Amino acid sequence: MRADRATLSREQLAVDVLPAARLLLGCQLVADRPGGQVVVRLVEVEAYRGSDDPAAHSYRGRTARNFVMFGPPGHLYVYFVYGMHFCANISCLPDGEPGAVLLRAAEVVSDLDVARLHRPTARSDAELARGPARLATLLGLRREHNNLDLTDPTSPVRLLPGEPVPADRVRTGPRVGVVEARDRPWRFWVDGSPAVSAYRRHREPA
């Protein structure tokens, strides 16, 4: 029997991508890893809505790659990028409507020694899950975790509610690494968290 608190409900994530992104700030992801649990608190996320967002993977319709974005909400959408890294998203919106929130950065709130086993090259504790690829690596998220139900209490990775982040500590700004709709302020982060990644505007080739 797991000792975790109750997971976030599917109904809580069956909302538009912007309130879903705001809701996820402060929530916790619990991953069962070799050596023990790794628990992180989400401090930076980005919203992607397929119906009217040309930066979203689902913008041109459902495919074998992006089907998780179409629901049901509360599932992991994991994909490989640049031939090097995995990134993880959480599906939201009602079932059948495409949308997801990219997990950009988190703070480790569990045993740091266990976390360091899985990110031994991190130069500081703040770097353990700073950036979407590092976060996925820390939690061990790979292709086999695509479509994993985070609301299932028996899942190896679970999404738990956390302490709500006060409104005066939430910041919004442009998304990172996209060309289309790059200036939409759909990135949300916790002001003052050392784990928040540095903003770099995407530059188009000359």
Sequence spans of domains, the chain: 10-190
Residue 53, exposed/middle/buried by CB under 10 A (0-12, 13-18, 19+)?
A: buried
HSE-CB for 11 with a 13 A CA cutoff: 0
The pTM for the full model equals 0.93
Please count the other Cβ atoms lying within 10 Å of the Cβ belonging to residue 8.
Answer: 22
Average pLDDT, the chain: 92
C-alpha span between 190 and 52 (Å, rounded):
26
- Taking only the tens place, the pLDDT of each residue in 102-151 is 999 999 999 999 999 999 999 999 999 999 999 999 999 999 999 999 99
For the domain spanning 10-190, the CATH number is 3.10.300.10
Measured CA to CA in angstroms, residue 169 lies from 92, 126, 195 at distances of: 23, 18, 14
Query: 10-residue block means of pLDDT along the chain (206 residues)?
Result: 75 97 97 95 96 89 93 96 88 96 97 96 96 96 96 96 94 89 92 88 50
